[in-house]
Structure 1
Amino acid sequence: MLTDDARYDALATRDPRFDGVFFVGVSTTGIYCRPICPARTPGRSRCKFYETPVQAEAAGHRACFRCRPELAPGNAEATAAVDAVDHLVASAAARIAEGALNEASVDDLASELGVSARHLRRAIELRLGVSPVVLAQSRRLALAKQLLQDTALPLTEIAFAAGFGSVRRFNAVFAQAMGRPPSALRKQHVRDIPAGELALRLDHRAPYDWPQVLRFLAARAIPGVERVISGAGGSYRRIVHIGGVAGVIEVRPSPTRDALVLVVTPSLVPVLMPLVARVRRLFDLDARPDVIGRVLARDRVLAPLA
Structure 2
Amino acid sequence: MASSPQKGFLRAQTIISVMRYLLASVTVTHETTSFEPCNNYTVLDNPWRSISNGYNSYCDQSVSWSGWYRLFINGLSAHIPDTCVAQYRCGTNVAMWIRGGHPTVTDGVVTRDVCGDVGSDCCYYRSSSIKVKACPGDYYVYELVNPTFCPSAYCADTGRINTSPTTVTPVTISTVSLDTTLYILYALGGLIIAVIVLLVGLIAVNQYYRKKLKTSASSEMPVNKQNKSRDEQKSNANDVEDSVYENDKSTQMKPINRPEVPKSQVHTVYGNVQPSVGQSHALYENL
TM interval, short-chain normalised: under 0.3
Question: Higher RCO, 1 or 2 (CA under 8 Å, sep at least 6)?
Answer: 2
Structure number with bigger Rg:
2
Task: Give the TM-score taking structure 2 as reference length.
Answer: 0.21
